[in-house]
A and B are shown apart, each in its own frame.
Chain A
Amino acid sequence: MKPSVRNKATLCIIALSMVLTLVPAAVPAPVSGGELTIVYVGDEPKVLDAQVDPFDSAAMVSALLADELVAKDKAGNFQPYLASKWSVSKDGKEWTFTLRRDVQFQDGTPLNAEAVKFNFDRILDPKTQSGQAADMLGPIVRTEIVDPYTFRVVHGSPYAPFLDSISQGFIPIWSPTAIKKYGPDEFERHLVGSGPFILQEYHAGDRFVLGRNPKYAWAPKIYKHQGPAYLDKVTFRFVSETTTALAAFRAGETDMLIRFPPQNVSDFRGKPNFQVLTAPYTGSPVLYVMNISRPPLDDIRVRKALEHAIDQVQIVKVLYKGEAVATKGVMYPGSPCYWKGAETVYPHDVNKAKALLDEAGWKPNAQGIREKGGKTLQVTLVNAFVQDLGPIVQAQLRAVGVDAKIDQVPGPIQLERAGNGEFSTIFQHMAYSDASVLDMLYNSKNLKPGGWAWTRYKDPKLDALLDQSTVTVDQTKRCQLLVDAQKVIVNQALVLPLFGRQQIAVATQKAKDFGFGSRPNVDLWLYDAYVEKP
């Protein structure tokens, strides 16, 4: 057993997959023309406008139709986009953006500070019923037009995730003219942005057809070329049934499947007619949250024993044939501010786990299950989402004498249990772009109805670190705070990390130079994409 080697191997795979993402697929020069049909395995956005809809699928399409104020490159750095430059005041509360003067929305409306203010105000207006965008903007007190091409946002308190938020498809800048023209109910059917693609057809429940914006001339430097996109047309379909999506792909009805089911990837890997592109998500990985307010997990020795008992590499191999990222960290290894040290704190070590349980007074009975004071060492694994996960974790815990009961419940029941603390361990996964995900999941102020701090750990020191990280705009200082927070979370053994998921695209060889950005759940890069023989 060499856990450290395993972890290194995992990291190598992650690094390799990142490098592969960056390397262009083919050498011939891109040509204009042709079309791609893309099937997204999942539900269609109910409202295509990501200023309103809270789901990734809406942000993914919105980002192709509209531009954002700033861009985020694959390395995670912010680059000019609609804003040619920006600055933040010393107190971290005022963000000032200087806008490009050459940008036009697809309906001819010019982009200026007034248009950007209109969009921000729309997102913040409760009548818009923004599902996620409004929260992502932070504690905004007011928005200002400084001059026709200078726009300012004033926060009540410094808000570190701000640049990341406004660089996402959730904050697309739409044409104010079109928003006013179509009204709140109909605008999402007639989205008009300044992006490289134009929304041409909207067939609710079936497909969206995007066409090229011939006037596009303001691509950010994160892409390879300038000028209009290469593709004439992109058709998006949303298929929630995995089997149906796979059948459509095998029948040649679509050129690409995104959010491809990991367990099926091996059918296409290494086949000459197909290409597989993976990009790990960021945020909080798939894990079991431990309820530290209830026995037996109120004892840190038991929690640490569980950490040592879990073999993440085996789980990934059995569940997904290796198409996921095994991790012992409380953040995805590719996340900003990820603490690498987490991977080595609890190496998979059955003997160490047993020793810790012995120390805590839990002794094995005749069946090998541990007991103390007449009670058996029992934990529940509450899980509504990944059905096959329970039995593997159960077997690994059984190997050290823990009797794990699988509690397969419907989604709403799981959330109810999480809320009222009726569990010993409970499934959680939060793919999230910004490191503020830690604040969301571990700050004890978020142990409230609808909140996500399920472990019930209350520690003023951890809360202070997380509070501080949210208001620290300086990224280096902020990361230090977040790394310190991760150390507390890992050392207290608050969760059982398992693995990180990946965005997976499987495509025929027709599609070239498509890719995922640093947030692969929403950044589908099609601007540089082309087809070989249009």
Chain B
Amino acid sequence: MLQYVGSRLFSTFPVLLLISVFVFSIMHLLPGDPAMLILQGQYATTPEQVARLRVDLGLNDPVYVQYGRFLAGALKGDLGRSVQFKRPVMAVILERLPRTAELTAAALVIAVAMGATLGIVAGVRQNSWVDNFSIVLSVVGLTMPIFYIGLLLILLFTVKLAWFPVTGGTDLHRLILPGFTLGFVSSGIIARLVRANLLEVLRQDFITTARSKGLADRAILYRHAFRNMLIPVVTVVGLQIGGLLSGSVITETVFNRPGLGRLAVEAILWKDFPLAQGTILFTATAYLMVNLLVDVSYAWLDPRIRYS
């Protein structure tokens, strides 16, 4: 098991390296001088300012030297200094990380709770109104843009009912609407998947055997069916976490939450290249780690899966 985790960790390095090359090249693929681009949005720019920024960003060195420095720094957790914030990129990211982490966690809890409940009820009571409702809900969740769901929720729960704030209030209070907005999209997918898997598992021979032994429906469901249908679900939930991270870009903007998603958007809008590189690299790494966790969790869920 440990060996497997080790080898998986090892195999993520080439991926990370590729990501770092991609992220590094963002600044260099854009037409024009990055220092110029950064300063152009501001008032009159003097050649001295541009020269100073070129030195600060290390743009006067050959590209491979710049990349080497970027990589060496990244390995040590030093992602450079943000042009706009004038602080280390890592410090800015770590300051915002808890906000995104709690949003993703809230969204995941809501997505899994809603999705699994609906999926199970729909699977057990196939073709009932719950089943139809779950279909409608997942189609809505899958097709409606997140920002639109968010705005509708704000309109209903903030402007009309005044239950939840958009800008004020305590942190937990402020988490519910964005968490729901973000979780809603995934809950539809999870509901469909749980339902399909449950139906498939319920048709298998070992369930028939269990039933013939006279086990109660409830026991069959809890003890035999659930665990067996979980693997594809966990895979999708893992993928959804990645989706939630990207969804947080929009959710955080709509709900004005100071998280990594909004930070990335601002970094790109303000052409704060070190910060944009840092947030993208950080998020990509987080995504890879979640994937690794998902893979490892298979073994725990299904003892038949052996890693060697």
Contact = CB atoms under 8 A, between A and B. Distances in A.
Q: Are A and B subunits of one complex?
A: yes
Given A241-B254, A251-B159, A54 B154 contact: no
Interface residues of B, number: 51
A449 interface: yes
Most chain A beta carbons < 10 A, residue from B44, B91, B165? B44
Contacts of A373: none
B44 A247 contact: no
B212 interface: no
Interface in A249-273: 250-254
Given A248-B158, A412-B37, A449 B86 contact: no
Chain A: number of interface residues, binned into ranges: 35 or more
A416 B256 contact: no
Interface stretch (A126-134, A326-334, A395-403, A524-532): A126-134
A43 B56 CA distance: 24
B182 to A, nearest CB: 15
B255 interface: yes
Contacts of B158: 247-248, 251, 253
Interface in A198-238: 203-206, 237
B261 to A, nearest CB: 11
Given A47-B85, A204-B95, A251 B253 contact: no
A240 B252 CA distance: 11
A37 interface: yes
Nearest to B157: A251
Contacts of B95: 204-205
A135 to B, nearest CB: 7
Nearest to B167: A248
A253 B165 contact: yes
B30 interface: yes
B275 to A, nearest CB: 9
B26 interface: no
A166 interface: no
B166 interface: yes
B258 A206 contact: yes
Nearest to A237: B167
A395 B43 CA distance: 32
A290 B284 CA distance: 45
Interface in A135-165: 135
A451 B88 CA distance: 29
Interface string B42-74: 111111011010001000000000000000000
A190 interface: no
A131 B85 contact: no
B292 to A, nearest CB: 29
Interface string B67-93: 000000000000000101111100100
A434 to B, nearest CB: 11
B31 A416 contact: yes
Contact of B42 (A39, A54, A188, A412): A54
A131 B40 CA distance: 12
B86 A244 contact: no
B42 A250 contact: no
Interface of A: 37, 39, 43, 46-47, 52, 54, 126, 129, 131-132, 135, 184-185, 188, 203-206, 237, 239-241, 243-244, 247-248, 250-254, 411-412, 415-416, 419, 430, 432, 440, 446, 448-452
Given A244-B167, A247-B159, 18 more contacts: A43-B266, A46-B85, A46-B270, A47-B86, A54-B43, A129-B52, A132-B43, A185-B88, A205-B95, A237-B167, A237-B256, A239-B256, A247-B154, A251-B165, A253-B167, A412-B271, A450-B39, A450-B46
29 contacts: A46-B85, A47-B84, A52-B86, A54-B42, A129-B56, A132-B42, A135-B46, A185-B87, A185-B91, A203-B258, A205-B95, A241-B254, A241-B256, A243-B154, A243-B254, A244-B166, A247-B154, A247-B155, A247-B166, A248-B166, A248-B167, A253-B158, A254-B168, A412-B37, A415-B37, A416-B32, A419-B40, A430-B43, A450-B44
